[in-house]
């Protein structure tokens, strides 16, 4: 039986595709807390992944929760933030936080710490593919293009090192994107060319249902032939 937030049952996985996707998710909408109070020496070791209650509920409470169960043998609770559409799933575990540090994730404020994609992700194509999926599923979007019969795929980041390592990631995977542009103080980048959008769908795919639903609004024969429903499996 899978338990909730029980330190004793946390398992440590080997580096694999599923862990690589989780790393992408954490770099996107995740946060790691490692805090020791100066007043009473109480410690807080936890991770959380945030999203929109209306748009990301199934992704977080089904797909990501099952991913965490598979990887770490613990079920994350969730809570909805008061008076907003925000929600989070979380795990409190010193063992988990220390493990995530050991594989290259950094606790605290991601922008101030100028985080990046860990080097081990680049050791295998399967790791790079899964990590990119996690990043786009969380901090990316599928957007319609004016006067086009296909959408673009969009990603944003205010973190210089993450942008630099993201550029390396898509380059290694042969995906051509636009240059970074600054809108509303956050740099953004796009997969704009139709053949690159199709390449992303075929080779990377989505685990977040909201992105699949947006793609399915486009009546493209090429997209139909790419079997959108199978581009990534929802748990």
Q: 3-state SS string over 4-51?
A: CCCHHHCCCCCCCHHHHHHHHHHHHHEEEEEEECCCCCCEEEEEEEEE
Q: Which two three-digit tokens encode residue 7?
A: 């330190």
In a domain, 28, yes or no: yes
- Output the pLDDT for position 231: 47
Provide the domain limits for residue 31: 7-230
pLDDT in tens, 189-205: 999 888 899 899 989 99
Over residues 50-108, the pLDDT tens digits come to 999 999 999 999 999 999 999 999 999 999 988 889 999 999 999 999 999 999 999 99
Instruction: Determine the pLDDT at residue 230.
Output: 44
Q: Is residue 145 part of a domain?
A: yes
- pLDDT surpassing 80 at residue 225: no
Residue 18, burial from CB neighbour count under 10 angstroms (0-12, 13-18, 19+): middle
Q: How many residues does the chain have?
A: 235
The pLDDT value recorded for residue 144 is 82
Percent of the chain whose predicted confidence (pLDDT) is above 70: 86
Answer yes or no: is 2 within a domain: no
Asked if residue 135 is part of any domain, the answer here is yes
Please compute the mean of the pLDDT values over residues 141-169 and round it to a whole number.
90
Tokens 């060319």 label which residue? 193
Place of tokens 């969730």: 78
Average pLDDT over residues 145-150: 78
pLDDT of residue 150: 81
CATH number, domain with residue 130: 3.10.28.10
Confidence of residue 224 (pLDDT cuts 50, 70, 90): very low
- C-beta separation of 191 from 204 below 8 A: no
Residue 94 belongs to some domain of the structure: yes
Give the pLDDT score at 223. Answer: 52
Average pLDDT over residues 3-29: 87
Is 1 a residue whose pLDDT tops 50? no
- pLDDT band, very low/low/confident/very high, at 228 (cuts 50, 70, 90): very low
Rounded Cα distance, 199 and 201, in Å: 5
Is residue 168 situated within a structural domain?
Answer: yes
Do the beta carbons of residue 123 and residue 117 sit within 8 Å?
A: no
Structure tokens of 29? 């909408």
For residues 145-166, average pLDDT: 90
What is the predicted pLDDT for the residue at 96? 96
- Does residue 235 fall inside a structural domain? no
Residue 58 lies inside a defined structural domain of this protein: yes
- How large is the average pLDDT for residues 161-177? 97
Give the total number of structural domains in the chain.
1
More confident: 147 or 48: 48
Please give the Cα distance from 141 to 36 (Å, whole number).
Answer: 36
224 contact partners, CB below 8 Å, separation of at least 6: none
């Amino acid at each position: 039986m899978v338990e909730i937030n029980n330190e004793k049952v946390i398992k440590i996985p080997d580096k694999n595709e599923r862990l690589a996707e989780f790393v992408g998710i954490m770099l996107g909408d995740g946060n790691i807390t490692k805090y020791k109070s100066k007043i009473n020496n109480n410690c807080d070791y936890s991770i959380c992944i945030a999203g929109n209650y209306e748009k990301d509920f199934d992704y977080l409470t089904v797909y990501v929760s099952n991913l965490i169960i598979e990887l770490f043998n613990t079920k994350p609770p969730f809570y909805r933030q008061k008076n907003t559409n925000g929600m989070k799933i979380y795990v409190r575990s010193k063992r988990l936080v220390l493990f995530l540090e050991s594989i290259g994730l950094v606790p605290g404020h991601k922008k101030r710490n100028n985080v990046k994609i860990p080097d081990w992700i680049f050791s295998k194509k399967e790791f790079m593919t899964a990590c990119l999926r996690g990043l786009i599923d969380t901090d990316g979007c599928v957007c319609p293009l004016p006067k086009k019969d296909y959408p673009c795929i969009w990603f944003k980041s205010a973190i210089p090192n993450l942008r630099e390592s993201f550029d390396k990631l898509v380059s290694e995977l042969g995906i051509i994107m636009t240059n970074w542009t600054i809108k509303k103080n956050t740099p953004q980048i796009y997969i704009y060319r139709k053949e690159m959008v199709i390449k992303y769908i075929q080779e990377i795919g989505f685990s977040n249902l909201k992105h699949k639903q947006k793609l399915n609004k486009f009546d493209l024969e090429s997209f139909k032939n790419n079997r959108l429903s199978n581009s990534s499996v929802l748990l």
